[in-house]
Amino acid sequence: MYVILVYDMGEKRVGKMLKHCRKYLNWIQNSVFEGEITDVKLKEMLNGARQIMQEKEDSLILFKSRDERWLEKEVIGQERMSTDNFL
């Protein structure tokens, strides 16, 4: 399935979360990721994310779509992270 993931984390945990999410998805903006992912990998990713998060302070929102074609993406201004192989 295709997912968009956005998080809002306490500063101390941001770096760790970024690293974690990049193992599974493409980083497209500051705290925004997208990509194709299987159910199994998604579960694994969310379990890992829960370990990093303080659920009383942090927030993670996931939008899931069965098919990427149902979403159209438009970028205005800088396309920050189109290719994704540094860091």
Nearer to a second copy, 70 or 86 (CB): 70
Under DSSP, is residue 26 helix (H, G, I), strand (E, B) or coil?
strand
Q: How many CA atoms lie within 13 A of 84 on its CB side?
A: 18
Nearer to a second copy, 18 or 32 (CB): 32
Helix H or strand E segment including 41: helix 39-52
Using CB under 8 A, which residues numbered 16 to 35 contact a second copy? Answer: 28-32
Cβ-proximal residues to 51 (8 Å cutoff; 6+ apart), any chain: none
Among 61, 83, 85, 86, binds a second copy (CB under 8 A): 61
Identify the sign of the CA torsion 28, 34, 35, 37.
positive
Write down the least CB distance from residue 36 to a second copy, Å.
Answer: 15
Q: By the criterion CB under 8 A, which residues form the site for a second copy?
A: 4, 6-8, 28-32, 46, 49-50, 53-67, 70-80
- Please report, in range form, the residues annotated as the binding site for Mg(2+): 8
